[in-house]
Amino acid sequence: MAAISLGLAFVSVLVTVTVTDLERRVIPNAILAAGTVVGLAIIVVADPGSLPERAIGAAAAGGFLLLGAVGSRDGMGMGDVKLAAVMGLYLGAAVGPALAVAFAVGSLAGLVLVLRHGTAARTRALPFGPCLSLGGLVGLWKGEEMVHWYLGTFLTGQVGPLI
pLDDT in tens, 39-88: 999 999 999 999 999 999 999 999 999 998 888 776 788 999 999 999 99
Helices 29-46 + 51-71 axis angle, to 10 = 160
Measuring CA to CA, how many Å separate 147 from each of 2, 61, 151? 22, 15, 6
Question: Which of the 8 DSSP states describes residue 31?
Answer: H
The model's pTM: 0.89
Integer Cα distance of 27 and 41 in angstroms: 22
pLDDT in tens, 75-134: 788 999 999 999 999 999 999 999 999 999 999 998 988 888 888 777 777 899 999 999
